Amino acid sequence: MASEQQMKNPLLVGRAIRAQLEHEVPQDLPLERDFREDSDYTITDHVQELHKSLCKDPRTLELITSLVSHLHAFARETQLTHAEWTKAVKFLTRAGKESTDYKNEFVLLSDCLGLSALVDEINHPKPPGCTDGCEPGPFYTEDAPTLPSGSSLAKPGTTGESMIFIGSVKNLKGESVKDATIDVWQADGDGVYDIQYPDREEPNDRGKILANPDGTFSYRGILPTAYPIPSDGPTGDFLHALGRHPHRASHIHFTLKAPGYDELTTALYPSHSPFLGTDPVFATKKSLICQLTEERDSKRWAELGFKEGEVRGGRVWVWKYDFVLPTIEQVEQVKAARAQKSKQ
Ligand code: BEZ
Ligand code: FE
C-alpha cells in the first residue's frame, strides 16, 4: 500500500507498485462474473470470495464474513435508500466527532442497541442461582480507595439520604467466598457521579471494599437516585427518534473479584425507583431489583456505624443483598455447553 508521502511523489508511487508486484501479487478474482442483484452471483458473494482468497487470519475472516452477510441482508431486506444510508453515515461521523474520554458515543450506541448486554451475556454466562451481570457504564475510575468493610464511601456534604449497604459473597454451594474484593461506584442523591462534577478533587461514592473473612461486608453512603445517560449527542437523538427516554433507574455498580471465581460486574436497583422497565441500556434485570427498608430508630443508627449528626432526612435506607459467584470452571462449563448447542 503506497503511503501518503509516496502518493505525493510519482517516482515513489512507481517504486511502491513495482515492490508490490514483485513481492505480493494479489490473487485477482475473475471479473467476468456478473454480480448484479438479480444474478446468481451477487455482490455479497464477490466480497466474501475476495476476503476468503486474501485474508490470512481465520478469526478476522469469520467475523467479517458474518458481518458482511448480515449487513448486506439488512440492506436487501429494508431496500435501503441512498438518502437513508447517507443519513446513517452522517450520524456515525457525528458519533465519532462528539466522543470524548468520558462519553464514547459508540459505546453508548452499543448499550442502547442492547449489544453490550448481549456481549456480556455471551462472555459471562451465569449458571442458574448466580447473580446476574450487567455492563459497567462509563463512570468507573481506577482511583477508588481500598477500604475495610464498614467504611463510609460518601464524603461529608455529599447530597442525598443516608444508606447502609449490607452484603455477602457466597458460592453456589452456599459457602462463603474467601478474599473477595467488592469494587463499588455510584451516583449521589442528585443522580450525579463524582467525575461529573468539574471541581472533583478526590474519589467520592466509590471504593474497593475488602470483605470480612466470612464473605460479609457493608458500607455506609448515600442512596443514589435515577439519572439520564449522556443524551446531548447522536445517541440522545437515536433514543428520541425511537420514542425512548435516556433515564436509568437508580442503581449501584459493583465488580466482585475473588480467587478461583468468575469476575462479576453488575448493578443493583431499588424497587421504588422509576424507569426500571424502560432502561435505555437494557441493564436492569428482575433478579437485580431489591426491596429496601427504612431505619427510623435513631438508636439503631449508631449500631449501624453512623456517627452523631451523620444521618440526614430522619431515616437510614437499609439495602441488603447476597451475591452468588460461579467458579471459573462452572462458567467454562456453561460456555462449552452453549458452544456444543450452537453447533447442532
Ligand atoms: C451507567 O449506569 O452509569 C451507564 C450505563 C450505560 C451507559 C451510560 C451510563
Ligand atoms: Fe450508572
Q: How confident is the model at residue 271 (pLDDT cuts 50, 70, 90)?
A: very high
Bridge partners of 325?
Answer: 171
Please write the tens of the pLDDT for every residue from 214-261.
999 999 999 999 999 999 999 999 999 999 999 999 999 999 999 999
Q: Tell whether the model's pLDDT for residue 21 goes beyond 70.
A: no
Backbone angle region of 303, left / alpha / beta, with phi > 0 → left and psi within -120 to 50 → alpha: alpha
DSSP code per residue over 45-73: HHHHHHHHHH---HHHHHHHHHHHHHHHH
Please write the tens of the pLDDT for every residue from 163-210.
999 999 999 999 999 999 999 999 999 999 999 898 898 999 999 999
Q: How confident is the model at residue 343 (pLDDT cuts 50, 70, 90)?
A: confident
Is residue 63, in this structure, part of any structural domain at all?
A: yes
Please write the tens of the pLDDT for every residue from 147-158.
999 999 999 989
Q: Which atom of ligand 1 is nearest to the CA of 193?
A: 3
Measured by CA distance, the residue closest to atom 1 of ligand 1 is: 137
According to DSSP, residue 131 is labeled P
| Residue finishing a domain among 25, 56, 78 | 78
C-alpha cell at 312: 440526614
Report the candidate in 231, 141, 245 with the shortest Cα–Cα distance to residue 193.
141
* pLDDT reported for residue 2: 47
* pLDDT reported for residue 34: 79
Please write the tens of the pLDDT for every residue from 157-166.
899 999 999 9
What number is the average pLDDT over the span 89-110?
94
Q: Tell whether the model's pLDDT for residue 1 goes beyond 50.
A: no
Specify whether the CB–CB gap between 75 and 84 falls below 8 A.
no
Is residue 34, in this structure, part of any structural domain at all?
A: yes
Q: Tell whether the model's pLDDT for residue 4 goes beyond 80.
A: no
* pLDDT reported for residue 102: 74
Q: Tell whether the model's pLDDT for residue 98 goes beyond 60.
A: yes
Q: Cα(266) to centroid of ligand 2, in Å?
A: 10
Are residue 162 and residue 253 in the same domain, yes or no? yes
Residues composing the chain:
344
Domain CATH for 185: 2.60.130.10
Specify whether the CB–CB gap between 158 and 194 falls below 8 A.
no
* pLDDT reported for residue 123: 87
Specify whether the CB–CB gap between 134 and 266 falls below 8 A.
yes
Are residue 10 and residue 54 in the same domain, yes or no? yes
Is residue 238, in this structure, part of any structural domain at all?
A: yes
Q: Tell whether the model's pLDDT for residue 344 goes beyond 80.
A: no
Is residue 99, in this structure, part of any structural domain at all?
A: no
- Structural domain boundaries enclosing 198: 111-333
Is residue 133, in this structure, part of any structural domain at all?
A: yes
In degrees and rounded to multiples of 5, residue 247 shows phi and psi of: -85, 130
Q: Which atom of ligand 1 is nearest to the CA of 116?
A: 6
In degrees and rounded to multiples of 5, residue 264 shows phi and psi of: -115, 120
Are residue 198 and residue 286 in the same domain, yes or no? yes
Query: Domain tally for the chain?
Result: 2
Are residue 219 and residue 266 in the same domain, yes or no? yes
Are residue 141 and residue 42 in the same domain, yes or no? no
The span from the first CA to the last CA of the chain, in angstroms, equals 42
Are residue 12 and residue 135 in the same domain, yes or no? no
Q: Tell whether the model's pLDDT for residue 10 goes beyond 90.
A: no
Which helix (DSSP H) or strand (DSSP E) does residue 20 occupy?
A: helix 10-23
Share of the chain above pLDDT 70, in %: 93
Specify whether the CB–CB gap between 192 and 248 falls below 8 A.
no
Measured by CA distance, the residue closest to atom 6 of ligand 1 is: 137
pTM recorded for the entire structure: 0.85
Please write the tens of the pLDDT for every residue from 124-138.
888 999 999 998 988
Is residue 95, in this structure, part of any structural domain at all?
A: no
| Residue finishing a domain among 36, 56, 78 | 78
Mean pLDDT of the chain: 92
* pLDDT reported for residue 220: 96
Are residue 195 and residue 264 in the same domain, yes or no? yes
Please write the tens of the pLDDT for every residue from 274-300.
999 999 999 999 999 999 999 999 999
Mutate to test the pocket of ligand 1, among 111, 238, 273 (most ligand atoms within 8 A of CB): 111
Which residues are CB-neighbours of 133 under 8 A, at least 6 positions away? 120, 121, 124, 126, 264, 265, 266
Is residue 230, in this structure, part of any structural domain at all?
A: yes
Are residue 155 and residue 58 in the same domain, yes or no? no
Question: What residues does ligand 1 touch, defined as CB less than 6 Å away?
Answer: 108, 111, 135, 137-139, 229, 248, 281
Please write the tens of the pLDDT for every residue from 36-52.
888 889 999 999 999 99
Are residue 59 and residue 129 in the same domain, yes or no? no
Are residue 149 and residue 191 in the same domain, yes or no? yes
Is residue 85, in this structure, part of any structural domain at all?
A: no
| Residue finishing a domain among 33, 53, 78 | 78
Q: Cα(253) to centroid of ligand 2, in Å?
A: 6
* pLDDT reported for residue 26: 60
Are residue 116 and residue 248 in the same domain, yes or no? yes
Are residue 187 and residue 262 in the same domain, yes or no? yes
